[in-house]
Amino acid sequence: MNGSNKSQLKAGAILSYVALFLNSGISILYTPIMLRMLGQSEYGLYSLAASLAGYIGVLNFGLGNAVIRYTAKYRSENDEEGCYQLFGMFTKMYGLLGMFALIIGTILTHYSHFSFQAL
């Protein structure tokens, strides 16, 4: 590993820590404002919706990075057919994941009244 790679690695680590501290600080300042604006029960619903959106985002399974990696690989090899096959495969995969998310979202929406009954 040469000096340029080490400095880039250090810069990446420092930026990751800066982002972590900024996100934490913003959350600490942001939460009381949202609680005051929405109220406790609405803020809870907002937090639930945000966490569900995060879980749905996990359905990506890192496929975006795989598309970038293999596109770069096939283009460096001048393999257009490989690119076309790759894009077709990922289009199918994203289509299936989208359908899965739509079905689960529809089911959760339809039965949400069971989750939000007064205790």
Q: What percent of the chain has pLDDT over 90?
A: 32
Query: Which residues have a Cβ under 8 Å from the Cβ of 63 and sit 6 or more positions away?
Result: 90, 93, 94, 97
Question: 52-100, pLDDT tens digit by residue?
Answer: 788 777 767 778 888 989 999 999 999 999 999 999 999 998 899 889 8
CA distance 105 to 115: 14
Place of tokens 């000096």: 3
Q: Comparing 84 with 42, which gets the higher pLDDT?
A: 84
How far CA 115 is from CA of 19, 45, 81, in Å, comes to 35, 11, 49
How far CA 7 is from CA of 3, 15, 19, 21, 98, in Å, comes to 6, 12, 18, 21, 40
Q: Where are the domains of the chain?
A: 1-38, 39-119
Res 2 pLDDT > 70: no
The pLDDT assigned to 7 comes to 85
CA distance 41 to 107: 23
The pLDDT assigned to 114 comes to 76
Residue 6, token pair as written in the block = 């080490």
